[in-house]
Structure 1
Amino acid sequence: MADTRPSTPLSFSELGVPAALVSVLTEAGITAPFPIQTATLPDSLKGRDVLGRGRTGSGKTYAFVLPLLARLAEGRGKRQPGRPRALVLAPTRELASQIEAAMAPLAKAMNLRTITIFGGVRPNPQIQGLRNGVDIVIACPGRLADHVQSGHCDLGSIEITVLDEADHMADLGFLPVVRRLLDKTPSHSQRLLFSATLDAGVDVLVKRFLHDPVTHSVDSAQSPVGNMTHHVLHVSKEGRVPVLADLTAAPGKKIVFTRTKHGAKALTRQLNARGVPAVELHGNLSQNARTRNLTEFGTGTARVLVATDIAARGIHVDDVSLVVHADPPVEHKAYLHRSGRTARAGAEGTVVTLMLDAQVSDVRDLTRKAGIKPTVTRIQLGDALLTQIAPGERTYVAEADRPKAEPARPSTGGGGGGGGRRRGGNGGGGAPKSSTGGGGGRRQPAKSGAGRSSAGRSSGGTGGGTHSASSFSSARRGR
């Protein structure tokens, strides 16, 4: 296994990235590669099959976007109707959107055309886009398989295939459809596989589809981000929501994870009822609602995103200061991926797990397997530790200024392909992904692709909201 980290960091140009792409990166303030990019770019730019592993937020998206665009631009292939030249497979709709957001300005610079393919939206615009001819398809497996089966997409001209978050696709049960799709790509084409972990499910894909791959692993599979602070707060059943409301009423963006879709919806309502602007994200929402809620969270209209594991990987929003496991996850991998929504790209962050009496043993095992040693404290509302964990004045918002809820809609059969066709066993919420994209300075992870959509606007909300509703006039200050 190669672990190639030069003592003197190389620039993108020195790694072989074309000048046109370097120029776009520089305009975005991105000048220094992350370790996963430094390790993999020399091999992927040469056309080698690459197996790359790095934790969430490590910069894997640019590690495959840059060589994919560079090699397509220098290749001899022509854009043809219904026959894309490159394929990027992602486990969820949100991740596919964020990959496209990161790729779009770079692809434009190379005169390459992209399209996203996933469920939850009408297929006809996707079909028309394929007919018009695209170079790169960024897709969730299920909906793409539908287009292939119906003859609207032919994978016989694929030159490069990327599997992003391969371990998560395995967790969601996508491996059979992924194998069928890869079988339709040319066997001699380049394949790049990126994942946070390289476990048994991923190994099946590696052995079958990658040819003499170069493996690069840039961090320990269990290593949590070094500048995260981990707390376990032992709360009573009655105190769980009040403690959570206090933490989330502090300044800054927070993501709260629940185990089930029902739990996410209920907790969102409870937080909003207490004056904390919150939106939900789970598989029962329509795609428009998912997009709008992510936009409201990204722009700060809602300070809190309450989500199932659908947001555990790939969702990137700048400056998430706190992640709360309102329901401790079942697996340690889920803990690490959820926690990775904060402390990204060198920033600091705090992770809190709320633990009930019946969960003590499970949480102890969970943190041990995750390789972390949290501070464990029995706590109740009013404890000074709460303001140490989430500093600042608690503010609450009047009902009229809170985000407007969208009724949940059961998924229809035709829309299941993107991040929602099959969900893992954590309450049906699924579990997304790690992604990077455009940013400023050396902070490379992209803002949510959903934030680019005009469909994400809502009539409710006034931003962060600092005035108190009458029922919360006695809001606690940070003391």
Structure 2
Amino acid sequence: MNTKPSAPGHAGAGTPRAVAPRGELSAKTLTPGSPPATSFAELGLPAEVVRVMTGLAVTEPFPIQAATLPDALRGRDVLGRARTGSGKTLAFGLALLVRTAGRRAEPKRPRGLVLVPTRELAQQVGDALEPYALALKLRLVTAVGGLSIGRQVTELRAGADVVIATPGRLADLVARRDCHLDQVRITVLDEADQMCDMGFLPQVSELLEHVPAEGQRMLFSATLDRNVDELVRHHLHDPVLATVDRAAGAVTAMEHHVLHVHPADKYATATEIAARDGRVLMFLDTRHGVDQFTRHLRGCGIRAAALHSGKSQPQRTHTLAQFKSGDITVLVATNVAARGIHVDGLDLVVNVDAPADPKDYLHRGGRTARAGESGRVVTLVTPGQRRDVNRMMSDAGVRPAVTQVRSGEEKLTGITGAKRPPVVAKDAGGNAPFRGLGTRPGRAPKESRKSAEARKVAEARKAARVRRGR
């Protein structure tokens, strides 16, 4: 095993270390009250990395970065709890890169690994770390589904120092023997709670069995529930716990609004919100609902695009780029966009369909009010949903402002900036584009028994009149 330090002043990724009992948290627990570092240089980062950060105007560490970087740079296992958008990527990424630098990876054998739940998050992590990897002469490879596995194999064969991957695609590459994890010395699990929620826990655990036991492990998550605790107990050595947010996620940096709407007015209300000045991210439950609502918005002259798992990765990447640049102003999405998307200056998230799970609510809302900025989360609620939404909000630790609204009202404009769309769809009263679909686009119309009986009676009477006329 190579014991040469990877960077001056830091223990190299290959440096042997004593393995402490797994699953026992260090007595050192960092909280928001801990004295923060005022610069990245104070945290022990090398000069070439600090120069890049200065050029990118990244000068003051966020709390999670100040709390974790010193221990991570020393090779300690780290368990970080912080909400989405709090700076976790650089918290683990800078330590990973600095400790990996100094030795080239062999073909198919990366030396650093970052596991993430979604393709979007993998791309975001890669984009965030690329400037620092270039400064340290490291090669990053992203391995996710939806893109050519052949190209990823070629990049791995050329020598990838750090692989950023989703569990499914990495498992495929390992099974094909196109990627070997026996030389990985630093492993990061980012958004571990979502990986568990999405059913990746068995795959993640199996992949970690391929990674050398003496390597450094860092796990970052917005919540530390039962499944995440299982990963901690089985795969981390004496980790330092760094907590900079409440377990439920920080919700005080954003405004939360529940808008009570009539079912027949729900999508007219959502359309007027979409027509506001500025960008908005809107969530619906189903892919079909997302596609249908997006078509409706475009028909109203609103620059909207859809994002869900039915889109190819190039389509998803292109759509996100358009949204970030402002070429489209409304992104309509399923929960695929609830994590892994960072858009600067996004001040409004709308739950057209209210989520059932408090975690989903917090992560949808986490797309706004990022990095200390302000933002609003608006949830449209029909009468039949009020009890369930109240319970979900309570579990999420949120006390929203509740307002009864209708489309076209000043109250709606005051809260969301809503206005009439530039093109009014034909027969645009209420839910006209979705008439017969109930309160959720994409659902098949369901005729009540009373309506069916009335229709049959009317048809029988009409037939009788026709016969008499003959």
TM over 0.5: yes
1:362 is aligned to 388
Secondary structure at 1:238's aligned position in 2? helix
1:87-124 deviation line (CA, Å, top 9, x unaligned)? 00000000000100001010000000010001111111
Task: Tell me by how many angstroms 1:262 deviates.
Answer: 1.6
1:21 is aligned to 49
Q: Between the two proteins, what is the percent identity of the paired residues?
A: 51
Distance 1:190 1:224 in 2: 28
1:279-309 deviation line (CA, Å, top 9, x unaligned)? 1111111112111211111111110111111
Q: Which runs of 4+ in 1 moved over 6 A?
A: none
Match of 2:311 among 272, 276, 285: 285
Structure of higher RCO (CA pairs closer than 8 Å, 6+ residues apart): 1
Tell me if structure 1 keeps the 8 A contact 2:272–2:419. Answer: no
Pairing 1:42–2:64 present: no
Q: What is the identity, as a one-letter code, of the residue corresponding to 2:87?
A: G
Secondary structure at 2:107's aligned position in 1? coil
Distance 1:317 1:109 in 2: 25
Task: Tell me by how many angstroms 1:235 deviates.
Answer: 0.8
Tell me if structure 1 keeps the 8 A contact 2:36–2:67. Answer: no
Task: Tell me by how many angstroms 1:397 deviates.
Answer: 6.6
Listed as ranges, the matches of 1:459-470 within 5 Å are none
Task: Tell me by how many angstroms 1:394 deviates.
Answer: 5.3
1:137 is aligned to 163
Distance 2:393 2:251 in 1: 14
1:325 is aligned to 351
Q: What stretches of structure 2 of length at least 5 have no aligned partner? A: 1-27, 426-441, 443-470
Secondary structure at 2:41's aligned position in 1? coil
Pairing 1:242–2:268 present: yes
Tell me if structure 1 keeps the 8 A contact 2:255–2:375. Answer: yes
Secondary structure at 1:31's aligned position in 2? coil
2:89 is aligned to 61
Distance 1:223 1:148 in 2: 34
Tell me if structure 1 keeps the 8 A contact 2:72–2:95. Answer: yes
Q: What is the identity, as a one-letter code, of the residue corresponding to 2:83?
A: R
Task: Tell me by how many angstroms 1:385 deviates.
Answer: 1.3
Decide whether aligned partners of structure 1 residues 132 and 8 sit closer, same or farther in structure 2, where only a CA change above 3 A counts: closer
Task: Tell me by how many angstroms 1:382 deviates.
Answer: 1.6
Q: Cα RMSD over matched residues? A: 1.7
Task: Tell me by how many angstroms 1:245 deviates.
Answer: 1.1
Q: What is the identity, as a one-letter code, of the residue corresponding to 1:390?
A: T
Match of 1:276 among 290, 294, 302: 302
Secondary structure at 1:22's aligned position in 2? helix
1:467 is aligned to none
Distance 2:235 2:374 in 1: 38
Secondary structure at 2:344's aligned position in 1? coil
Listed as ranges, the matches of 1:41-120 within 5 Å are 41-74=69-102, 77-120=103-146
Pairing 1:212–2:217 present: no
Distance 2:319 2:192 in 1: 26
Distance 1:142 1:54 in 2: 25
Distance 1:148 1:353 in 2: 42
Tell me if structure 1 keeps the 8 A contact 2:82–2:249. Answer: no
Q: What is the identity, as a one-letter code, of the residue corresponding to 1:242?
A: A
Distance 1:58 1:267 in 2: 31
Listed as ranges, the matches of 1:181-330 within 5 Å are 181-330=207-356
TM-score, normalised to structure 2, is 0.82
Secondary structure at 1:297's aligned position in 2? helix
Distance 1:363 1:274 in 2: 30
1:334 is aligned to 360
Secondary structure at 2:205's aligned position in 1? helix
Secondary structure at 2:372's aligned position in 1? coil
Listed as ranges, the matches of 1:387-406 within 5 Å are 387-391=413-417, 396=422
- Find the structure with the greater CA-based Rg: 2
Task: Tell me by how many angstroms 1:376 deviates.
Answer: 1.0
